[in-house]
Structure 1
């Protein structure tokens, strides 16, 4: 197993940390900066927009130059951004840091997903779920680790320790050897496949799913707090969402074949809709935690399976361009929907905000029947 292949898993693990960071630290950042849900929602949307922008830059620029460039620069941006959030408790430095965090995370996301089908072209749905389980593991570890570090060391020192830990995969990404674009046959930066039905449907499905996952990752702490848990326990219980996400993707990697991926997306999206309805209607302390677990299991294989099903229909040399399009459209959803959920949460309640997710989930379900 090459170091480049190992770095795919380390990059997705770190991307999981990045995605979970804002959700796990949202209550602390809002308290330190004196922000309500509406203003925090704007910061979250800015972070997601940076992720969208970075996805396009990486997929249609940096990946075509060098895998080492896109992964290495992603890690360095993440390190600098987390350090900035921990050092300055002022609005504009935090705004810049969250933008940098979105850019860095998107570089890791695109670089690793573009490299995966090049190094392992067989059964892309299965291997993508396995790799994305590392994303879930990173997102699982972060809330637990951050809670422990905050209790013992406080905000600034906790984030400095987190920054130091991310230096390890950063160094590994910089010393590895990667395939070059000149070795990839038929590599292209053309948008010509935009007219392809599979690509268009995958983009629509990605818009809906990523918007849902980003909204849940961001606002589940608020949901749990509204259900009656305190801030520390709410942040800790969100780890169950990421645990379920990781376990679900590991299971999917062993169960998926080239023929059953779409059925799995359809089934779990239907259960997701039912869970969203029930969790915002029947609310107790422990049913709120159970709902968080169910959401994680439902979300687990949807996006990596969608990516794998799409990759299987094209040459692996196009994976960077295809993933950039699909993921960028998804980031568009992640930019818009969490902001809307936050606004509704601020003006009415988090329960009404989360009910909005039923609409994109329904569109996702319908789209999966035509992919």
Structure 2
């Protein structure tokens, strides 16, 4: 039964990843059909993120009241309804309205499942869990592309994903007894036994600030790289649009593949070492990105492209183990009774990093230079390393 529940959680994380890359792949056509400006995509994305932040912050209270299984099922239903609404939206403002329940559903299930796996399963499963999210994120644009090629347009793509989410909702509701069986076998389901703490109480726990800043920085690195690497390669490194776009695709493949491979060594190395290895990978990648290959090898196309490709590959593989390892370490760092609340706040800080830091680099690139991209990534990574090591030092004293 536990194995069946774990398979269901993996499936839920594929579903969680499916819609995450839809907006970016569909927006070039969506904004034309809806009469919206190209830049308005950022508004919808920000509203989704805000909904996710809100539900993440309050995830402990609602999970305490309704349970992980029920929250997962209801959140998936909320997402399915929002995606169906996207498919029939007639204007930009309707999309803005639907972005809120979409974000609320995504944030609640993300926080709930991450904590559940951190409490009840080994570190390798956390790595594979987020690998499955990457599979969903990669399949989403493919589904959108197929819908468009069949003449169904972006509405058909959103409708297809909403149907998939609805089917999973039915499965999750049917599987609610599995969560109770697992709870009986794991008497440590803390979040259902103790009253949830207030946010101000959580922030007073020693080391929480270190972890939140580190997690903020990680998500800032991942999102900034995904959004700005292509522009950096084209403008600063002289690569073609097609080559630059392909490199960014490989970045996400690196994250997904890296998490799959991390699962085989995570239990042996432990969360602390996995985070250190990830940070080292990112910094090695930054060194390759800083090599001015376009100037040193201007006459050799292969050498001109190989250094940024290797650099971005290292950044992707470096990112791979950090997110799941930080989440999995939470119960050990702060106690199982505090893990749900802290993971919820971590999710909120993650999306704050996603909202703030790529936008900040956009300002830097516009008013200073986009050439600072590797330096920007390096500085954020160094802050992440400092905060992570401060947490390790504090943990060693306890």
Q: What TM-score range do you get, normalising by the shorter chain?
A: 0.7 to 0.9
Secondary structure of the corresponding residue to residue 256 of structure 1: helix
For the pair shown, the structure with the greater C-alpha radius of gyration is 2
Q: Which moved more, 1:17-26 or 1:166-175?
A: 17-26
Match of 1:267 among 257, 277, 281: 277
Rounded to whole Å, the distance in 1 between the matches of 2:51 and 2:226 is: 17
Question: Residue in 1 aligned with 2:241?
Answer: 229
Rounded to whole Å, the distance in 2 between the matches of 1:9 and 1:43 is: 27
Question: Residue in 1 aligned with 2:9?
Answer: 8
Equivalent positions of 1:129-140 (< 5 A) are 129-140=127-138
Rounded to whole Å, the distance in 1 between the matches of 2:48 and 2:80 is: 15
Question: Shift of the alpha carbon at 1:309?
Answer: 2.0
Question: Shift of the alpha carbon at 1:206?
Answer: 0.9
Rounded to whole Å, the distance in 2 between the matches of 1:89 and 1:350 is: 37
Q: Which moved more, 1:138-147 or 1:279-288?
A: 279-288
Rounded to whole Å, the distance in 2 between the matches of 1:148 and 1:287 is: 33
Question: Residue in 2 aligned with 1:308?
Answer: 328
Asked if residue 323 in structure 1 is aligned to residue 324 in structure 2, the reply is no
Question: Residue in 1 aligned with 2:357?
Answer: 337
Rounded to whole Å, the distance in 2 between the matches of 1:353 and 1:44 is: 22
Question: Shift of the alpha carbon at 1:348?
Answer: 6.9
Equivalent positions of 1:122-161 (< 5 A) are 123=122, 125-153=123-151, 154-161=153-160
Rounded to whole Å, the distance in 1 between the matches of 2:273 and 2:166 is: 40
Question: Residue in 2 aligned with 1:35?
Answer: 37
* Inter-CA distance 264–113: structure 2 relative to 1 (3 Å threshold): closer
Secondary structure of the corresponding residue to residue 207 of structure 2: helix
Question: Residue in 2 aligned with 1:256?
Answer: 266
Question: Residue in 1 aligned with 2:161?
Answer: 162
Question: Shift of the alpha carbon at 1:218?
Answer: 4.4
* Inter-CA distance 63–350: structure 2 relative to 1 (3 Å threshold): farther
TM-score, with length taken from structure 1:
0.83
Equivalent positions of 1:148-227 (< 5 A) are 148-153=146-151, 154-176=153-175, 177=177, 178-179=179-180, 184-185=189-190, 187-191=194-198, 192-219=201-228, 227=239
Rounded to whole Å, the distance in 2 between the matches of 1:230 and 1:89 is: 32
Rounded to whole Å, the distance in 2 between the matches of 1:103 and 1:285 is: 41
Question: Residue in 2 aligned with 1:363?
Answer: 383
Deviations 1:301-328 (A, max 9, x none): 1011111222223443443222112222
Deviations 1:160-214 (A, max 9, x none): 1222222222211111122398963453411434333332221111111122223
Question: Shift of the alpha carbon at 1:230?
Answer: 5.2
Deviations 1:27-49 (A, max 9, x none): 44455554344x43343322222
Question: Residue in 2 aligned with 1:49?
Answer: 50
Contact 1:143 1:239 in 2 (8 A): no
* Inter-CA distance 152–356: structure 2 relative to 1 (3 Å threshold): farther
* Inter-CA distance 332–359: structure 2 relative to 1 (3 Å threshold): same
Secondary structure of the corresponding residue to residue 42 of structure 2: helix
Rounded to whole Å, the distance in 1 between the matches of 2:23 and 2:265 is: 32
Rounded to whole Å, the distance in 2 between the matches of 1:250 and 1:202 is: 24
Contact 1:72 1:170 in 2 (8 A): yes
* Inter-CA distance 28–275: structure 2 relative to 1 (3 Å threshold): farther
TM-score, with length taken from structure 2:
0.78
Question: Residue in 1 aligned with 2:300?
Answer: none
Q: Which has the higher contact order (CA 8 A, sep 6+)?
A: 1
* Inter-CA distance 171–353: structure 2 relative to 1 (3 Å threshold): farther
Question: Residue in 2 aligned with 1:296?
Answer: 316
Contact 1:7 1:169 in 2 (8 A): no
* Inter-CA distance 20–205: structure 2 relative to 1 (3 Å threshold): same
**Structure 2: any 5+ residue segments left out of the alignment?**
295-303, 392-398
RMSD over aligned CA atoms reads 3.3
Contact 1:340 1:353 in 2 (8 A): no
Asked if residue 80 in structure 1 is aligned to residue 81 in structure 2, the reply is yes
Rounded to whole Å, the distance in 2 between the matches of 1:117 and 1:63 is: 16
Question: Shift of the alpha carbon at 1:300?
Answer: 0.7
What is the aligned length?
Answer: 365
Question: Shift of the alpha carbon at 1:237?
Answer: 6.3
Rounded to whole Å, the distance in 2 between the matches of 1:20 and 1:337 is: 19
